Structure 1
Amino acid sequence: MPGNEHSNIELLKEIAELLNEETEMTTMLQGALRKFLAGTQFQTGWIFFIDGKGKHQLIAHEHLPQALEFNQCHHLQKGGCWCISKYRNGELKKATNMIECQRIENAMNAEVGDHGGITHHATVPLQSGPERFGLLNVASPHTVAFTEDELALLESVAFQMGSAIKRIVLTKQEQEMALVQERNRLARDLHDSVNQLLFSVTLTARGGSILAENDEVKQTFQEIQHLTQEALTEMRALIWQLRPKGLETGLLEGIKSYAEMLGLTIKVHVTGVIQLPSRIEETLFRIAQEGLNNIRKHAGVHEAELFITITQTDVLLVLKDEGRGFLLDTSIQIPSIGLQSMKDRAQAAGGTVDWTSQIEKGTELLIRIPY
């Protein structure tokens, strides 16, 4: 027994070192899980992250049998099970032997591969203080229950993982805060320098066009005024993208204010209650900004319609105009209208962007984001 305790202490020390060195969440958890399984009697394991609504996501797994690994871990990704139900209900406080597992049973019944003797698993919540992040599940072939010592070791590594997850979450929040502060600084600098210079040029050109007696000179001043006004509008739009002042009063007000700043009239239709996480609101706002910019620059109209539909799992945003439209060649990127930028933003949030457009019949932008 003393020798076993010594080996467990060494294992926990090695796992702690790995967790402290890693800065990327998935890589960290995958590595810690692999090291834990290699140093114990446990043979396979998987980690779920579970959000505030109880929706689970498979983050890491190691040495899964064929039945559980089939079709990109389909039976772990989909459906429900006792461990997640107990986690959601707050009944799971420590490492526990699960009497049965619906996911394993479903995989076995589907006859999609060898289950490797895996029929039961142990589970433990991943948490740091009062904050909970998900579950660590482990199993071994032909094992229905694990010993108290094995469960205690499982709790120890879960505590280490929970602390490491919290560290990375806090680091990410600090990085996001630093990014926001840098955006605000850049927005202030642009407003105080370039924006003011452009405004001064606009006034100077206007005065020049009034005072000029020669028609060609007058026309030149008017052209300078027009171009400078366009540049001023572009600059204000850029400042808005860096620091969206209207977003603190909600997504709808932010989009309305941005459209008004661009000289667009927008009709808004909402289905459901808008109570979205701030990161989802900002993603939708940024994509809507790009869509509104496209309407102002390319559609040739000054009106648009916005439809927002909120379901229990997704938010759908549709932006429509009845402008000149465009033909999209899928083999050619069109960076000038920002379609790739919108697509990248949506994909980063786990969502999608689609669009339909016909010449002289307008364009419809469809954004779907899970939350």
Structure 2
Amino acid sequence: MQTTLVQLLALTNLESGWIFLLEGEQGYRLVADSNLPPALCREDKRPMRCDDCFCLRLYWAEELEQAVTMIECERLHNAVQQCWGETNNLEYHATVPITIRGERLGLLNVGSPGKEQFTDQELAFLESVAYQIGTAVERVKLYEQRERRAVEDMSRYIVNYYSQLNSITRALLKMNNIQRLLEAAVDSIGRQFGWSTVAVALREEQKLRLRSIYENGRTKGAQAALPFVMRDLVEQADREQQIRLAEHGFGPYAVALPLHTHESGVLYLSRSSRPFEKVELEILRILADHVTIALEKVRLYQEWEEVLLAEERNRLARELHDSVNQKLFSLSLLARGIWEHAKTEHEETANAIREVERIAQEALGEMRSLIWQLRPSSEGTDFLRTLKEYAQTIGLRLFIQSDQEPRYRHELELALIRIAQEAMNNVRKHAATYRTRISLTHDKRWVTMKVSDQGRGFTLEQAEQEARSLGLASMRERTEELGGSLHILSEEGLGTVITARLPLQAEERG
């Protein structure tokens, strides 16, 4: 507006001018001025900023509808009366209302020393200029309103996003199971933020695998290779540890955000329309950090539980060894001593004592087996050596065959060891043989373990009646927990084969 005012004065050969814009009901602001007399420039133009004047009062009262010549300017009159300084003989000015479509926006005042009257033609020209100024002011106000609305909308958007983010984070931090956490994370993010697809992939055994996905309003756990539609983007984000976008204009808009977990992973989100805004990406980065924190919290919690479990198992093993095991050993020695003393004179008593010794020895063997099983399974311990040591502990001669070096994830290795131990216990207690064989075969998805003996075997009816003592229920539970199966083949007089088939990778659990 300053430039417009200067050009107007040059075009009309007028010397001074100023523009007021209204603010509120009784407020105004000086927005432009040119060649004001010294009396009006004092104290940083204080006379132009403080108090009102006759022309403003007329305008506020809606009594100034068109351009007029002010017979005397109140501000200039006050400057003379109060000796504020030189007015350069400026006494009169034209006052032109800046009004657009009935909205009063401000006033345009122009004048020159000695000019007491403006012609109708001059006033009409000034009105046309004021209209152009008003149009420009209106455009600026509309732009500012749009900007203000945009800022308000963005503020609401950010507040809403952070509110939802806070809600999701609080829920995730309460969970102590990784799979449930992953499924809850993709479900909450998909539903609350309106994403069509949300997925989490985690690195397992040097390979990214899909662990949970929200798609078409449904959530499911997974343990599978990455779908083709997201594979390149997810692998790139993981490899470069940077946010990566897919905004090609065809297909969905997608973003992959690295999760800086213990093993690394990626959070993938996609929608059918609308590209990503910078502020949205920053919020999504924070969202990925919160998911990472929740995952690490669960991992640390599970490690802590494992430490507590290992300590408790060690404590139980020590107590059993120091108390029950020693007492059984003492009972066995005592029974043998009594039998030696009574075998020649008290045959029936000696036989009973012999039976006590046998039971004590059997209980002692079972106790040693239990103590061995209570030892925590340490990562890095050789799988085959673990089985051989256990067989030796319970007095079995074990033969092992494997078509490849056995290397398994922790949960699978532990399940195979426990199933093999239970099967060897059965051989030791029921098969009437001290020999057993374990074979391991592998394909791309499965490991099959067979524990066989050539002992006395049993019938299906016996197996059902003695399922608990044979440990069949616990073996079956372990295989089914990992998505596998257990089969038992036995025939009286020919022996038994227990076959456990388990997935090499964790299966989806419903």
TM-score using structure 2 length: 0.61
Once the two structures are superposed, what CA deviation does each residue of 1:193-241 show, in whole Å capped at 9, x if it has no partner?
A: 0100010111111111111132222222211111111111111111111
2:244 to 93, 96, 109: 96
Out of 268, 283, 301, the position equivalent to 1:137 is 268
Q: Is the 8 A contact 1:208 1:221 kept in 2?
A: yes
Residue in 1 that maps onto 2:157: 4
Output aligned runs, 1:37-116, within 5 Å: 37-54=190-207, 56-61=209-214, 63-64=216-217, 77=224, 80-81=227-228, 83-85=230-232, 87-88=234-235, 90-98=238-246
Q: Which residue of the partner structure matches residue 340 of structure 1? A: 473
Distance 2:459 2:469 in 1: 14
Aligned ranges for residues 191-340 of structure 1 at < 5 Å? 191-212=321-342, 213-243=345-375, 249-311=381-443, 313-328=445-460, 332=464, 334-340=467-473
Equivalent AA in structure 1 for residue 455 of structure 2: G
Encode CA deviations 1:33-81: one digit per residue, 9 max, x unaligned.
Answer: 344334435234233344133252432425448xxx8xx899x956642
Matched, 1:24 2:156: no
Distance across 2 between alignment mates of 1:349 and 1:123: 33
From 260, 272, 277, the equivalent of 1:128 is 260
Give the 3-state SS of the residue equivalent to 2:460 in structure 1: coil
Tell me if the contact between 1:97 and 1:122 (Cα under 8 Å) persists in the aligned partners.
Answer: yes
Equivalent-residue separation in structure 1 for 2:408 and 2:206 (angstroms):
12
1:301 match: secondary structure: coil
CA contact (8 A) 2:419 2:478 kept: yes
- 2:320 matches 1:190: yes
Cα distance 1:244–1:306, how it changes in 2: closer, same or farther (>3 A)? farther
**Within 2, Cα distance between the matches of 1:297 and 1:55?**
45
Q: Is the alpha carbon distance of 1:62 and 1:16 closer, same or farther for their aligned partners in structure 2, counting shifts above 3 Å? A: same
- Residue 330 and residue 57 in structure 1: after superposition, are their counterparts in 2 closer, same or farther (change >3 A)? farther
Q: State the distance in 1 between where 2:233 and 2:406 align.
A: 29
Change (3 A) 1:328 1:121: farther
Change (3 A) 1:360 1:125: farther
For residues 108-130 of structure 1, give each alpha carbon's deviation from its aligned partner in whole angstroms, at most 9, with x where no partner exists: xxxxxxxxxx942524245236x
Any idea what SS the aligned residue of 1:318 has?
strand
Alpha-carbon distance change, 259 to 248 in structure 1, aligned in 2, over 3 angstroms: farther
Rate the CA distance shift 1:320–1:125 in 2: closer, same or farther, 3 A. Answer: farther
Q: Does 1:167 align with 2:265?
A: no
Unpaired runs of at least 5, structure 1: 101-117
Q: 1:349 aligns with which of 471, 475, 482?
A: 482
1:98 & 1:304 partners in 2: Cα distance? 58
Q: Indicate the residue corresponding to 2:491 in structure 1.
A: 358
Alignment of 1:143-158 (within 5 A): 143=273, 145-158=275-288
Rounded Cα–Cα distance in structure 2 between residues aligned with 1:332 and 1:225: 30
Secondary structure in 2 matching 1:307: strand
Alpha-carbon distance in 2 for matches of 1:126, 1:246: 31
- CA gap of 1:289–1:346, structure 2 versus 1, over 3 A, is same
C-alpha change, 1:245 and 1:26, in structure 2 (3 Å) is closer
Q: Distance in 1 between matches of 2:451 and 2:216?
A: 46
Taking the aligned partners of 2:379 and 2:287, their CA distance within structure 1 comes to: 41
Number of aligned residue pairs: 346
Q: Check 1:9–1:161 CA distance in 2 against 1; reply closer, same or farther (3 A cut).
A: same
Q: Which of 311, 319, 344 is the equivalent residue of 1:181?
A: 311
- In 2, the alpha carbon distance for the partners of 1:84 and 1:132 equals 18
Shift of the alpha carbon at 1:280? 2.8
Give how far 1:343 is off.
Answer: 1.6
Residue identity matched to 1:185: R
| Distance in 2 separating the partners of 1:332 and 1:145 | 62
Superposition CA RMSD, Å: 3.2
Note the alpha carbon deviations across 1:303-335, whole angstroms, 9 max, x for none.
111112355554332211122223336995722
Unaligned runs of 5+ in 2: 1-153, 506-510
